[in-house]
Structure 1
Amino acid sequence: MQIPQSNILTTKYLNRVFDKTVATYKYYWFLGILDLCVKHGKTRMDVWEIMITMVANAWYPVTYFRLSFGKSESLYEAIWALQKDYNIPINISIRGLTHLLHELIQSIDVRKRLNFLQMNVPYRFLRPWIDTSDDRQTVVRSQSLENGCLYKLEKQNGTLWIEMNPAWLDYLRENYDILSAFAYWGLAGFLQTRNPNVPAIPTKLVKQEERNSLSAQHKFWNTAIKHGLEVRCPYTGNLLEERMYDLDHFIPWSFVSHDLLWNLMPADPSINSSKSNKLPDLNLYLPKLANAHQAAIRINLHEGKQEKLLEDYLSLGHTPQEIVSMDKEHLLDCFFQTFMPMHQIALNMGFEIWKY
């Protein structure tokens, strides 16, 4: 992906900032600078402000989606340490997290934990413009905005500051969306190589505040219940009435990042809060899910309902008609072949097992 070019600015160097990247720091550093400069209008900022934004932007990929950042990634480790030390909810809003981090950053312990973020990345980000591995030289040479670099560095009373090059400000504002996409595109590629079996990496870089409607999926189950199917919550065993249930993502949405019908199951409304993004025990609950789906598919096929939605089952490797005709052994084999690999990968990523 190429960024918009300029005849005035040294955009060729900006396009190279993520070359040979071995950690996520540069991506989150650039995204932090963009947010503070464009969204908050800051042209001079201390590195602690940027570091707070870095942690906030990386929070959901780490804690909610549980993506691996690679071996010995200090940002990943620091986020989990903060979450555990201060009992921060993994689904806290970005605004709430940013406000909390501004309070926590006053603590010496928190500063020590995050100090690594200012050890290298502020200097190495400028390497395309200022070709030296000497951090002190980078600071000195940035003062003259050598080669039209993006910002200059300054140490004041023990704090590192960056001041944006005024020549870049209009460019950053006009191309904010493209530049953000450029950073996230590189970040997605970086994380995909470290999470090769995890689906939908690009959708897991930022937590969606609003999820898709499940009205069609509810209609599928309502049809089955209306036409006599006895649907019980797979976890509590309670009988569920039409429209009086929640749809549970059997394998958490934070792993699968989709609403395909075969991963959804009616459940007691109280279950979602306790199950949250944990993994159900497959041996206990998957047979119940498989049997309920087979029966619900049979009714919907007979009623000629939800033909388009029924195509979701094709990703199990069988047509809805084939699933309906399976005996118990083949039905369970079909579902276990799909769910077991996902379950194991999610378990390896740190998702916890849950039992009612």
Structure 2
Amino acid sequence: MDVWDIVIRMVANAWYPIHYFRLSFGKSDSLFDIVIELQSITGIPIDADIENICDVLGNRINDNRIKSKLRILTFNVPYRFLRPWIDTSDDREMVFRSQTFENECLYSIHKEETEFYIEINPVWDTYLHNHYNILSDFAYWNLAQFLQVRNPNVPAISNKLIKPATRDSLSNQHRFWDTVIELGGTIHCIYTGRELHRAEYALDHFIPWSFVSHNLLWNLIPADNSINSSKGDKLPDLSFYLPKLVQLQRHSICVCVNANKTFKVLEDYLSLGYTVQELANMSDDRFMDLFERTFKPINQIALNMGFETWK
């Protein structure tokens, strides 16, 4: 296995959580800075697929700017990983002793002027194939633990490790808001003030999905179709838009409760600590206070992570 292929895939796997979710890998880990710098050099989109990233970096491996960044990832770990089998901190000695598969070590390292690769020890072949899923899950579990320590205030770390193949359709949420419009009358976009009609609007994640990584109803709001492209992954100005969000959310809840309409997505409000009936019975001030206590900490943490405010 070519070591350059391995480090390229390391970068490709870290690309999405670093660029899209702004996850920190800690000050002592070089991977974060390398990924950021490679994006600047190559211009690869932040939401590119792993294979596309691998293809671009692989085709440009002879670019000195790219190779110098990738070379950093070839230091230390390839040698230190073998320490349980071969007790030496000398990299040259590690290379030599690994090539005899000393103590049945996992792989050997081959480093020459024009080649740099590892060879998996054949005695491990059956084990690796039979237990691949367990080993993979173990790695992702420990990666999630590693990142959670370094991003203590970030929600849903486990959902931010791998780019999802597709995003949820939000069809159930659309049905909810269509019913609100049908029963409660026309509503207005909190951003543009334009009238929104049934099935003629976009659903906007008030706090960006790239931070919250969920589709809970209390963070989703009908919006003019132009908003998603302009607002993108930016944060709304809470001082201006949160009262508008609260008013529309309260309106939607009261419409459904008064009409005795039930939707499974209404269970999303339980994560705020209240049933929809309890929310409908709240005073305006208490309802506003609940949403302020919910959104202000989330918004501040996102700001601290580098998310920009959209006005």
Sort the TM-score into its range (normalised by shorter chain): over 0.9
> Partner residue of 2:252?
296
Of 62, 76, 81 in structure 1, the residue corresponding to residue 37 of structure 2 is 81
Give distance in 2, aligned partners of 1:194 and 1:98.
26
> Partner residue of 1:148?
104
Of 234, 240, 244 in structure 1, the residue corresponding to residue 190 of structure 2 is 234
> Partner residue of 1:124?
80
SS in 2 for 1:163: strand
Higher relative contact order (CA 8 A, sep 6+): 1
After TM superposition, give the deviation of residue 327 of structure 1 in Å.
3.6
Give distance in 2, aligned partners of 1:229 and 1:348.
39
Question: Structure 1: which amino acid aligns with 2:178?
Answer: N
Of 90, 93, 102 in structure 1, the residue corresponding to residue 49 of structure 2 is 93
1:220 and 1:306 in contact (8 A); partners too: no
1:334 corresponds to 2:290:
yes
1:229 and 1:295 in contact (8 A); partners too: no
2:257 and 2:280 in contact (8 A); partners too: no
Give distance in 2, aligned partners of 1:73 and 1:235.
40
TM-score, structure 2 as length reference: 0.95
After TM superposition, give the deviation of residue 307 of structure 1 in Å.
4.5
After TM superposition, give the deviation of residue 139 of structure 1 in Å.
0.5
After TM superposition, give the deviation of residue 325 of structure 1 in Å.
3.2
Alignment gaps of 5+ in structure 1: 1-44
> Partner residue of 2:94?
138
Q: Could you report, residue by residue, the CA deviation over 1:130-154 in whole angstroms, capped at 9, with x for unpaired residues? A: 1211111111110110111111011
Give distance in 2, aligned partners of 1:182 and 1:175.
11
Give the stretch that moved more between structures: 291-300 or 312-321: 312-321
Give the stretch that moved more between structures: 49-58 or 245-254: 245-254
Give the stretch that moved more between structures: 136-145 or 80-89: 80-89
1:251 and 1:343 in contact (8 A); partners too: yes
Give the stretch that moved more between structures: 319-328 or 154-163: 319-328
Number of residue equivalences: 311
1:167 corresponds to 2:123:
yes
2:176 and 2:263 in contact (8 A); partners too: no
Q: Could you report, residue by residue, the CA deviation over 1:43-97 in whole angstroms, capped at 9, with x for unpaired residues? A: xx22111011000011111111111111142110111112223332211122221
1:59 corresponds to 2:4:
no
Within a 5 Å distance, the mapping from 1:1-356 to structure 2 comes to 45-355=1-311
Q: Could you report, residue by residue, the CA deviation over 1:131-185 in whole angstroms, capped at 9, with x for unpaired residues? A: 2111111111101101111110111215421111122223222222221111111
Give distance in 1, aligned partners of 2:307 and 2:285.
28
Give distance in 2, aligned partners of 1:152 and 1:162.
5
Question: Structure 2: which amino acid aligns with 1:194?
Answer: R
2:8 and 2:70 in contact (8 A); partners too: no
Give distance in 1, aligned partners of 2:71 and 2:278.
58
Flag the 1:233–1:105 CA change in 2: closer, same or farther, 3 A. Answer: farther
1:253 and 1:259 in contact (8 A); partners too: yes
TM-score, structure 1 as length reference: 0.83
1:229 and 1:296 in contact (8 A); partners too: no
SS in 2 for 1:227: helix
2:106 and 2:120 in contact (8 A); partners too: yes
Q: Could you report, residue by residue, the CA deviation over 1:4-34 in whole angstroms, capped at 9, with x for unpaired residues? A: xxxxxxxxxxxxxxxxxxxxxxxxxxxxxxx
Percent identity, aligned pairs only? 57
SS in 1 for 2:199: coil
After TM superposition, give the deviation of residue 228 of structure 1 in Å.
3.0
Q: Could you report, residue by residue, the CA deviation over 1:294-322 in whole angstroms, capped at 9, with x for unpaired residues? A: 00111111222235322211222333233
After TM superposition, give the deviation of residue 123 of structure 1 in Å.
0.3
Give distance in 2, aligned partners of 1:47 and 1:95.
17
